[in-house]
């Protein structure tokens, strides 16, 4: 059996995400992604926020096959938890280390 291959995507948010609100933000982002790409594509992409690199940056992991849909959906999202939001994809890679070392 082959192992699942992942892509890690560094995303910059247009809003600051305080440490106390990160769980709520992750839940709101999940709901926005479900609404944008649908349930079957969401489960194919299998996105998960791995870490917050700064107050407005985070690293999200997705499956190799659903990464393109995830990046497109992030560009289309306008609101998270009722607040205006926008997202920029800064970098994508196969390892979390190369994404985390990115300086912009």
Q: Which domains does the chain have, with CATH numbers?
A: 15-99 (3.30.70.3250)
Confidence of residue 3 (pLDDT cuts 50, 70, 90): confident
Question: Are 53 and 85 a contacting pair, CB within 8 Å?
Answer: no
Structure tokens at 43: 């489960």
First-last CA distance in the chain: 38
DSSP per position, 11-22:
EEESS---GGGH
Backbone angles phi, psi at 2, to 5 degrees: -80, 150
Structure tokens at 63: 């499956």
User: pLDDT (tens digit, 9 = 90+) per residue, 68-88?
Assistant: 999 999 999 999 988 899 999
Q: Which residue's entry shows tokens 């992942």?
A: 6
Model's pTM, two decimal places? 0.90
């Amino acid at each position: 059996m082959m192992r699942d291959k992942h892509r890690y995507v560094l995303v910059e948010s247009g809003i600051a995400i305080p440490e106390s609100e990160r769980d709520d933000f992750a839940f709101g982002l999940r709901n926005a992604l479900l609404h944008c790409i649908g349930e079957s594509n969401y489960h194919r992409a299998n996105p998960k926020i791995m870490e917050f690199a700064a107050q407005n940056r985070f690293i999200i992991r997705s499956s190799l096959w659903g990464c393109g849909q995830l990046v497109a959906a992030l560009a289309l999202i306008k609101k998270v938890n009722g607040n205006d939001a926008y997202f920029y994809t800064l970098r994508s890679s196969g390892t979390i280390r190369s994404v985390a070392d990115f300086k912009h």
